[in-house]
Amino acid sequence: MTDIGQEFKPGQIVPVSGIYQVVHDEKHHEPHDVTCVKGKEFPPCRDCDHPRFVLKHKAHHIETHEFFKHYF
């Protein structure tokens, strides 16, 4: 089970769709939020070797949600 606050590294597979905070090397960039989709790979940063992805909020991707997936 994937918990809020769990941390992931580039190359790992996104376990659950949602909003993730990306934490870079502090000399490179401030933390920021991104949307990640279950089953995709967390990408590397082109400018630092440190990015970590921290789950903030789980969310269904509309294409996989039971009420909508038959439209896609």
What number of CA atoms fall less than 13 Å from residue 46's CA on the CB side? Answer: 0
Residue 19 lies in a domain: yes
Residue 1 lies in a domain: no
Mean pLDDT of the chain: 94
Instruction: Say yes or no to pLDDT of 64 above 90.
Output: no
Report the number of distinct structural domains present in the chain. Answer: 1
What are the tens digits of pLDDT across the range 22-57? 999 988 899 999 999 999 999 999 999 889 999 999
Residue 17 lies in a domain: yes
Residue 60 lies in a domain: yes
Round to whole Å and give the CA distance between 41 and 67.
25
Residue 52 lies in a domain: yes
Which own/partner pairs from 43-49 qualify as long-range (CB within 8 Å, at least 24 positions apart)? 43/10, 44/10, 44/11, 45/10, 48/24, 49/25
Containing domain of residue 25, as a range? 7-71
Residue 2 lies in a domain: no
